Amino acid sequence: MRIRSKVAAAVAALAVLGSGVASADAKPAADNPYQRGPDPTMGSIEADRGPFAVTQAPVPAGDGFGGGTVTYPNDTSQGTFGAVAIAPGFLEPEPLLGWLGPRLASQGFVVLTIATNSLVDFPTARADQLLAGLKFLAEKSPAKDRIDKSRLAVMGISMGGGGTLEAAERDPALKAAIPIVPWDIGRSFSGVRTPTLVVAGQGDIIAPTPMHAKAFYDSLSPGLNKAYVEIAGGGHFGPPLPNVPTAKYSISWLKRFVDDDTRYEQFLCPIPKDPQASAFEGNCPHT
């Protein structure tokens, strides 16, 4: 009897370790019901994976966007998670975003990487599809019961980054926006009320920063929680491909503004002196 229960306990302990939740089971802080996961470190935001084991499910086309992949934490013991929809750029298929699904979801977010209806959709159509993706996530996706519908965010690459800014402009209830090497034309985004992190590539010749990323950043309201990080040596395809600075500042931004998790403020303010960034600006401290 004694031995049997010890064996059972050992098996149960192994099962917990195997599921990957053992390091993610820190209880939410009493003063912030949205806080998820253990205290972060530079190592934890730079790592390929966060503490949450995740599951992926394919999403068919037909809900206003071209289908994609939902990636969500397996853990249901801590309540719901914030959610983010991510759009690719012009001519870019959804798998280009594949690295971001597990990278962000394993930190404690439900992530939808979308394919666009057409590979040649312009930013306004990509904004439509990001917002349709969030609606799908919250209402129909396999992860719908895991999502806090009041804490949603948008991200996107290039024309998907232009779509990210347009989506934020249209829906001020969004908690965070992260346009990556954003491309759009004839736009200024002074009406955006959503905290926005612009990620740029230093040597981007397809969406040159003075006309795109930096111009959009500069057009954001002076009092907004906003930041501009330019990846040193990165061109138009540097920041969108797997890389540490895009990942770690995106994770920190989502945590800070989707989860209101001030444990991540240390990675954003004061403005980091990061050799991987050729420029870094922002409003600090965040409010």
Which residue numbers are catalytic? 158, 204, 236
Based on the shown chain and the rule CB under 6 A, indicate whether residue 198 belongs to the binding site for ligand 9J6. Answer: no
Sequence length of the chain is: 287
CB closer to ligand 9J6, 126 vs 146? 126
Q: Does 96 bind ligand 9J6 (CB under 6 A)?
A: no
Residue placing its CB nearer to ligand 9J6 in the complex, 89 or 102: 89
Answer for which of 70, 137, 159, 192 binds ligand 9J6 (CB under 6 A) is 159
Q: Is 216 in the site for ligand 9J6 (CB under 6 A)?
A: no
Torsion sign, CA atoms 207, 118, 100, 127: positive
Question: Which residue from 52, 72, 81, 90 is in contact with ligand 9J6, where contact means CB under 6 A?
Answer: 90
Q: Compute CA distances 85 → 44, 172, 186, 265, whole Å.
A: 22, 15, 24, 23
Is 89 an interacting residue with respect to ligand 9J6 (CB under 6 A)? yes
CA 98 to CA 164: how far, in whole Å? 18
Q: Which residues of 143-166 are buried (b: 16+ CB within 10 A; e: fewer)?
A: bbebbbeebbbbbbbbbbbbbbbb
Give, as one character, the DSSP assignment of residue 29: P
Query: Minimum CB separation from ligand 9J6 for residue 126, in Å?
Result: 9
Pattern 30-69, ligand 9J6, x by CB under 6 A: ----------------------------------------
Q: Single out the residue of 51, 3, 64 nearest to residue 23, CA to CA.
A: 51
Q: Which residues bind ligand 9J6 (CB under 6 A)?
A: 89-90, 158-159, 183, 206-207
